[in-house]
Amino acid sequence: MSEPTESSDSLKVSRFTYRQLQGLRHGSTATPLRVIAHIDLDAFYAQCEMVRLGIPRETPLAVRQWDSLIAINYAARPFGISRLINVAEARKLCPDLVLQHVATFREGEGGRWAYRDDSFKNISTDKVSLDPYRAQSRKILQTMKEALATWSADNTEVENQNSKQELSAVLEKASIDEVFIDLSPLIYRALLQRYPELRMGTQDENRDAELPTPPTTALQWDTDCLVDLDQHETEEDDPDWDDIVMLIGSEIVRSVRNTVWEKLSYTCSAGLGRNKMIAKLGSACNKPNLQTVVRNRAVQNFLRGYKFTQIRMLGGKLGEQITAAFGTEKVSDLLSVPLEQLRTKLADNTASWLYGIIRGDDRSEVNPRTQIKSMLSAKSFRPSINSLDQAEKWLRIFAADIYGRLVEDGVLENRRRPKVITMHYRTAQSRSRQIPIPGSNAIDENLLYDLASTLLRQVVADGQAWPCSNLSLSVSSFEDGVSNNKAIEGFLIRGDQAKALTHSSRLRDADNSPNEQDQAEKRRKLDGERGRIKSFFGNPSHLEYTATDEPDGSEEPVEKDPELSGIPRFVCPRCSKSMFEYEKEEHDDWHFAKDLASQDREKAKASQPPPPTKSSARGTPARGRGGRAGGSRGKPEKGQMRLAFQ
DNA sequence: GCTGATGAG
DNA sequence: GGCTCATCAGC
Q: Which of residues 585-614 of A touch strand B (CB under 7 A)?
A: 614
Per-residue pLDDT, A414: 61
Q: A613 CA to C7 C1', in Å?
A: 9
- Phi and psi at A273, nearest 5°, equal -165, -175
Q: A73 CA to C10 C1', in Å?
A: 43
Each residue's pLDDT tens digit, A415-446: 678 889 999 988 877 888 888 888 777 888 88
* Helix intervals (H) in A120-183: 131-155, 158-161
- Report if CB A369 to strand C is under 7 Å: yes
Q: What whole-number distance in Å separates Cα of residue A37 and Cα of residue A46?
A: 23
Q: How many CA atoms lie within 13 A of A257 on its CB side?
A: 26
Q: A317 CA to B7 C1', in Å?
A: 9
Per-residue pLDDT, A412: 66
Residue type, A407: V
Q: Is the peptide bond before A467 cis (omega within 30 degrees of 0)?
A: yes
pLDDT means per 10 residues in chain A (646 residues)? 46 90 90 95 95 94 92 94 91 94 85 87 88 90 94 80 63 90 95 92 78 93 94 94 97 96 95 94 94 96 93 89 91 94 89 92 83 85 86 90 82 75 86 85 87 88 80 87 38 35 32 36 35 26 29 33 46 50 53 43 42 42 31 29 24
Q: What whole-number distance in Å separates Cα of residue A256 and Cα of residue A367?
A: 19
Q: A617 CA to B6 C1', in Å?
A: 13
- Report if CB A544 to strand B is under 7 Å: no
- The bridge status of strand A68-72 relative to strand A61-65 is antiparallel
Q: A63 CA to C7 C1', in Å?
A: 30
Q: Which of residues 605-634 of A touch strand C (CB under 7 A)?
A: 613-616, 620, 622-625, 628
How distant, in Å, are the alpha carbons of A19, A273, A301, A608 from that of A242? 14, 10, 17, 22
Residue type, A343: R
* Helix intervals (H) in A483-583: 485-504, 513-538, 562-565
Contact at 8 Å (CB) between A37 and A183?
A: yes
Q: What whole-number distance in Å separates Cα of residue A645 and Cα of residue A416?
A: 14
- The bridge status of strand A104-106 relative to strand A126-128 is antiparallel
Q: How many CA atoms lie within 13 A of A577 on its CB side?
A: 20
Chain C bases having any atom below 7 Å from a protein CB: 1-10
Chain B bases having any atom below 7 Å from a protein CB: 1-9
Q: What whole-number distance in Å separates Cα of residue A559 and Cα of residue A410?
A: 35
- Report if CB A314 to strand B is under 7 Å: yes
Average pLDDT, chain A: 75
Q: A586 CA to B9 C1', in Å?
A: 42
Within 10 A of A382 (CB to CB), how many other CB atoms are there? 11
Q: A374 CA to C4 C1', in Å?
A: 10
Q: What whole-number distance in Å separates Cα of residue A222 and Cα of residue A248?
A: 12
Angle at A552 between CA A546 and CA A558, to 5 degrees: 125
